[in-house]
Amino acid sequence: MDASLSLGIDIGGTFTDLVIHDPRDGRAVIWKESTTPDDPARGALDGTRHVLQRANARPDQIGRVVHATTLFTNALIERKGARTGLLTTAGFRDVLEIGRERKYELYDLFIEMPKPLVPRPWRREAKERLAPDGSVETPIDIDAALAEVADLVEQGVESLAICFLHAYANPAHERAIGAAIAERYQNLSISLSSDIAPEIREYQRASTTVANAYVRPLAEVYLERLEQALRAEGIPGGLFLMLSNGGLTHVSEAKRAPVQLLESGPAAGALAGAWFGRNAGLERVLAFDMGGTTAKLALVDEGEPLVAYGFEAAREKRFLRGSGLPIQIATVELIEIGAGGGSIAHRSDLGTLNVGPESSGAQPGPACYGRGGTEATVTDADLTLGYLNSDFFLGGTMKIDRAATDKAFVQLGDALKVEPSRAAFGVHDVVNENMAGAARVAIAERGRIPAEYALLATGGAGPVHAWHVARKLGVKRVVCPPGAGAGSTIGMLMAPARVDRVASFARPLSGADMTAAERIFADLEKEALEVLRLTGADVAARSAGRLADMRYIGQGSEITVVMPTPLVEADVRAAFETAYKTLFARTPPGAAIQFVALRLSLRAPMPGTGGKLELTRHAAVKAQKGMRPVFFPDQGKTVQTRVWDRYALTPGTDIEGPAVFEENESTFIVGPGAVARLLPDGSILAEVA
């Protein structure tokens, strides 16, 4: 049996993107299926049948399935996870409520902080205490702790997070009570902080462990059902999950720690930006991914997206740091910068135009979808301005209700007291300005300059908005890769297997036992390698990244530094000071440095990754499809613009803007004064002339 094909499935808020890729010749077939919010797996399976039919492929030819989903993130946002309890050290029951004692809006008297995932009656205390160095101050009372758990189980708790003080330094107490509970309550899901987030800071560690416990039963059921459904469809290949860190893992690891999957879809978009950027010969890329619900940005330096070791989920205010639940995991550094195609436009209480954060989602969707939506959205605005072709939406497979869009903008225009066409441009421009402003700040915070980068657009809406966002940022090069509308799914199919592990190592750099640090790195690599082998990755070709969280003694935060090999104190000091100067321009004189934690990242290529991407091509004589009126803000008017068939262009072709490039899943807009060229890898590079 030939099972050489790879299938990628990315479940988003509006569409589920599916890609079948043949690594032997690069042939790829793309399909977009409307997401089914009531049962996301249903839409994924319907889409699988459609993409197989479109690719003229059999289910038994699928050798592996790679999957990303927003299901677990949505469970946190909508508070639809398992009934979860928390067992913690006596005196720390309210750490989830106290948090960091910071207000994300200092002068808001009615501020709403993130509500704990565990209500107070289900937060219980255990008699035990460890010192910061891991030594035992109070031995654990197993019987008393079991009595607390028994009461929780009786009240209907399905999942339990165990987070003891300083368990990152010594997991003995957590493991002892975890084993006792598992023996007595075999149906109770258990998450230990020493397994999920063995790092300092009690609130962040507890928040991460509780989030894992909250979604773990959901993940176990969902992934089990999906595996069974794929087998029932006749697909023999294994199921692999996209992680927030930009790598893949196997199902059992995803079930153990589903908190690692919270940013899986957006991470895949950043990975696609990095992969396409490398193929286009670009080392510095702003990976701009705009789908139906949100727009996100990731910085790619030297061909790799930046990785952070924490983010916030389920924010009360989407763009305000500190308003969400802190999650301590390795994640591609993603910046949420704006709304998506389904974001709803409305008049604010001040009479101004606002776009989002409310989204029309997959049901009913934008007004133009003809599914009952009546409010104007970003997609409706793009259609009104001529950026989208109502006769070629999703390659002509989806019927568009233009009358519904026109009616929605009449209503919005009346509310704003402007013409409908003015309201449509306002929606488009507000979204672009919001995204450019947020991106500008985020890039500056990382010590970068936008003009040094090329903007690479993916997602169904990304290529439509990329040119105008780039102009606002001062970026002169914009790239639209082939299959951009399903860019995240393509990124998943090219992803390596990856495992990230961390261990506490709190001690001053001066005189630190580097042999002990080397042993910790070796233990972390051994643990990570066991997980990596189960993915079927090429472990012989693995690469390990050794890092350390470090800071000056007395500081409240740390930076992550790439460690030299071998570990020599002088070399470690130089590495830290170089990284510190890159971020803050100078180092404080005479300040002592300390380690906080050691990190290991292990990666290995997956079978069927790499290679190239080849989409269906048309005859070059049909390259220009026609003309249509398109509104360009720098011209202040509608311009008759040539429309090109993306699949009919040949590498090396130069086209002057303005121009519209259409493919089935997305549309790339290039403004006046630009020159667009088709690169050898199939990407379109548009530059300011």
What does the angle CA 134 – CA 137 – CA 138 come to, to the nearest 5 degrees?
A: 120
500-528 residue pLDDT tens: 999 999 999 999 999 999 999 999 999 99
Q: Note the pLDDT tens digit of each residue in 643-681.
A: 999 888 888 889 998 999 998 888 999 999 899 999 988
Residue 607 is classified by DSSP as T
Structural domain includes residue 394 = no
Question: Is the pLDDT at 447 greater than 80, yes or no?
Answer: no
Averaged over 524-539, what is the pLDDT? 94
Instruction: State whether 123 and 60 are in the same domain.
Output: no
Residues 598-611 have a mean pLDDT of: 89
Q: Are 145 and 182 in contact (CB under 8 A)?
A: no
Instruction: Give the mean pLDDT of 347-355.
Output: 86
Q: What pLDDT does residue 612 have? A: 78
Residue 471 has pLDDT above 60, yes or no: yes
57 shares its domain with 89: no
* pLDDT for 2: 64
For position 232, what pLDDT does the model report?
Answer: 93
Q: Is residue 459 part of a domain?
A: no
Nearest Cα neighbor of 439 from 339, 307, 336, 302 is 336
One domain for residues 18 and 64 = yes
> What is the pLDDT confidence band of residue 1, given thresholds at 50, 70 and 90?
very low
What SS3 class is residue 254? helix
Host H or E run for residue 487 = helix 487-493
Tokens linked to 593: 């440095």
What letters, b where the CB count within 10 A reaches 16 and e where it falls short, cover 292-304? Answer: bbbbbbbbbeeeb
Angle at the Cα of 79 (from 76 to 82), degrees rounded to 5? 90
What tokens does 376 get?
């104007």
Q: How many CB atoms lie within 10 A of CB 658?
A: 21
| CATH code for the domain of 571 | 3.30.1490
The three-class DSSP label of residue 544 is: strand
Query: Are both 236 and 118 inside the same structural domain?
Result: no
DSSP letters, 430-447, are HHHHHHHHHHHHHHHHTT
In whole angstroms, give the CA distance from residue 295 to residue 171.
39
Residue-range definition of the domain harbouring residue 63: 5-76+221-261
What pLDDT, on a 0 to 100 scale, did the predictor assign at position 573?
Answer: 97
**232 and 175, same structural domain?**
no
* DSSP of 180-236: HHHHH-TTSEEEEHHHH--SS-HHHHHHHHHHHHHHHHHHHHHHHHHHHHHHHTT--
Residue pair 594/576 in contact by the 8 Å Cβ criterion: no
Name which of 481, 480, 521, 478 is nearest 501 in CA terms: 521
> Is 648 part of any domain?
yes
pLDDT tens-digit series, residues 366-412 = 888 888 888 889 999 999 999 988 888 877 778 888 888 889 889 99
What does the mean pLDDT of the chain come to?
90
Name the one residue in this structure whose structure tokens are 């107070």: 120
Are 169 and 256 members of one domain?
A: no
Question: Which residue has tokens 């599916």?
Answer: 18
Distance CA(645)–CA(624), nearest Å, equals: 6
Residue 580 lies in a domain: yes
**In this structure, is residue 296 part of a structural domain?**
no
- The domain spanning residue 47 has which CATH number? 3.30.420.40
DSSP bridge partners of 628: 641
Give the Cα separation of 424 and 367 in Å (integer): 13
Q: How many CB atoms lie within 10 A of CB 484?
A: 29
Kindly report the three-state secondary structure assignment for every residue of 345-410: EEECCCCCEEEEEEECCCCCCCHHHCCCCCCCEHHHHHHHCCCCCCCCHHHHCCCCCHHHHHHHHH
148 and 206: one domain?
yes
Domain check: are 21 and 103 in the same one? no
Q: Is residue 246 part of a domain?
A: yes
The whole-model pTM stands at 0.89
pLDDT in the model for residue 650: 87
Q: Say which residue, 44 or 86, is predicted with more confidence.
A: 86
> What are 10's strand-pairing partners?
17, 68
Do the domain assignments include residue 292?
Answer: no
Percentage of the chain exceeding pLDDT 70: 98
597 and 562, same structural domain? yes
Residue 24, pLDDT score: 86
For 246, 326, 419, 501, the CA distances from 273, given in Å and listed in that order, are 11, 26, 38, 25
- 211, 225: one domain: no
Same domain, 33 and 124: no
Q: What pLDDT, on a 0 to 100 scale, did the predictor assign at position 185?
A: 96
Band of residue 3 on the pLDDT scale cut at 50, 70, 90: low
Rounded-to-5 percentages of helix, strand, coil across the chain? 35, 30, 35
Summarize pLDDT for 543-558 with one digit per residue, the tens. Answer: 999 999 999 999 989 9
CA-to-CA distance for 309 and 333, rounded, in angstroms? 8
Amino acid making up residue 411 = Q
| Residues 144 and 208 placed together within one structural domain of the fold | yes
* Residues 265-296 pLDDT 10s: 888 888 888 888 888 888 889 999 988 778 88
In-domain check, residue 162:
yes
**Total domains present in the chain:** 4
pLDDT at site 619: 67
- Given a cut of 80, whether residue 577 has pLDDT beyond it is yes
User: Tens digit of pLDDT for each residue in 21-67?
Assistant: 998 888 899 998 888 888 888 889 999 999 999 999 999 999 999 99
Q: In the predicted model, what is the mean pLDDT of residues 467-496?
A: 91
What's the pLDDT tens digit per position in 174-190? 999 999 999 999 999 99
- Domain-terminating residue out of 604, 634, 649: 604
Amino acid identity of residue 320, one-letter, is L
Contact 270, 297 (CB under 8 A): no
Q: Which among 574, 604, 634 is the end of a domain?
A: 604
- Residues 191-203, mean pLDDT to the nearest whole number: 95
Q: What average pLDDT does the segment 156-165 reach? A: 97
